[in-house]
Amino acid sequence: MKLPGHVASRVVDTKLVEERRGQILRAAVKLFSDKGYYTTTISQIAREAGVSTGLIYQYFGDKDDVLLLSLKLVLETYEKEIPPRLEGVKHPVERLCMALWAYCTIVDGLREATVLAYRSTKSLRADRRTLVKQGELRTNRLLQVCLRECIAAGHMRRVNEYLLVYQYVTFCHAWALKHWALRGRFSLGKYVAEGIGLLVEPFLTAKGRAALTAMRSRTADFTRGASQAKPARRARTA
């Protein structure tokens, strides 16, 4: 039985598969985001990618395969890129803030793909939608761990962790979903700083607020830290 996440390729050279799929997926994400999944054709993707239609079928079985790997690209980037950016950050409040910074900067580098994930996940067949949802939940758990560390150390009062984590996720994704409205009002760093003021600070205890104040001073109210965050790297597509 074919696994929901498996996408067969007629080409066996792993490096070539990764390179070609990346080229095709970048074109697909742009077209799916601009035109919609159902109205975009394989031939249009081929033209955008600068390859032949037949070549696409060397690396993908059908358009559903292309959409699946486009969405996996987004989710795997979130999942793989956030933890390295927390390395060396010890204080629970700082780890939570840095996780939000990291998430938002990754979204900033994948704005079209993030919008696509919201718009087109429902277009996948049912077993693949489940796969995408599982990927989202893994990323959510990264934020939930940071939140729990704040609570356990007495830096944050007890909250509904599940609901607050989804507020964090929605906030990060909104930088892509509502970028047309936000970009004229906020730099990315300012957006993150304002979000922390709304979604982290109100739940902190006195010692948690003291830690946040110290971090703000050191990072120029977060904008310095956000500007130094690394851009998102492309996830593997094989």
Task: Please report whether residue 19 resides in a domain.
Answer: no
Are 86 and 48 contacting, i.e. CB atoms less than 8 angstroms apart? Answer: no
Q: Provide the β-strand partners of residue 204.
A: 156
pLDDT for residue 225 is more than 60: no
pLDDT for residue 172 is more than 70: yes
Task: Please report whether residue 75 resides in a domain.
Answer: yes
How does pLDDT run across 49-88, given as a tens digit for each residue?
A: 999 999 999 999 999 999 999 898 888 888 899 999 999 9
Task: Please report whether residue 202 resides in a domain.
Answer: yes
Share of residues in the chain with pLDDT > 70 (%): 92
Q: What is the pLDDT of residue 97?
A: 96
- The CATH number of whichever domain residue 77 belongs to comes to 1.10.357.10
Query: Which value, in Å, is the radius of gyration of the alpha carbons in the chain?
Result: 20
pLDDT for residue 137 is more than 70: yes
What pLDDT band is residue 228 in, cutting at 50, 70 and 90?
Answer: very low
pLDDT for residue 232 is more than 80: no
How does pLDDT run across 188-220, given as a tens digit for each residue?
A: 999 999 999 999 999 999 999 999 999 998 888
Task: Please report whether residue 153 resides in a domain.
Answer: yes
What pLDDT band is residue 20 in, cutting at 50, 70 and 90?
Answer: very high
What pLDDT band is residue 231 in, cutting at 50, 70 and 90?
Answer: very low
Range of the structural domain that residue 79 is part of = 70-228
Rounded Cα distance, 179 and 22, in Å: 25
Rounded Cα distance, 63 and 57, in Å: 9
Rounded to an integer, the average pLDDT of 139-166 is 96
Q: Is 232 strand, coil or helix?
A: coil
Task: Please report whether residue 178 resides in a domain.
Answer: yes
pLDDT for residue 21 is more than 60: yes
Short-list 153, 141, 143, 161, CA closest to 95: 143
Average pLDDT, the chain: 89
How does pLDDT run across 81-131, given as a tens digit for each residue?
A: 999 999 999 999 999 999 999 999 999 999 988 998 888 888 898 999 999
Q: Please tell me what DSSP assigns to residue 26.
A: H
Q: What is the pLDDT of residue 229?
A: 44
Q: How far is CA 212 from the centre of its chain?
A: 25
Q: How many domains does the chain have?
A: 1
Rounded Cα distance, 130 and 103, in Å: 22
Q: What is the pLDDT of residue 237?
A: 44
What pLDDT band is residue 47 in, cutting at 50, 70 and 90?
Answer: very high
Task: Please report whether residue 37 resides in a domain.
Answer: no
What pLDDT band is residue 6 in, cutting at 50, 70 and 90?
Answer: confident
Task: Please report whether residue 55 resides in a domain.
Answer: no
What pLDDT band is residue 3 in, cutting at 50, 70 and 90?
Answer: confident
Task: Please report whether residue 216 resides in a domain.
Answer: yes
What pLDDT band is residue 2 in, cutting at 50, 70 and 90?
Answer: low
Rounded Cα distance, 30 and 192, in Å: 26
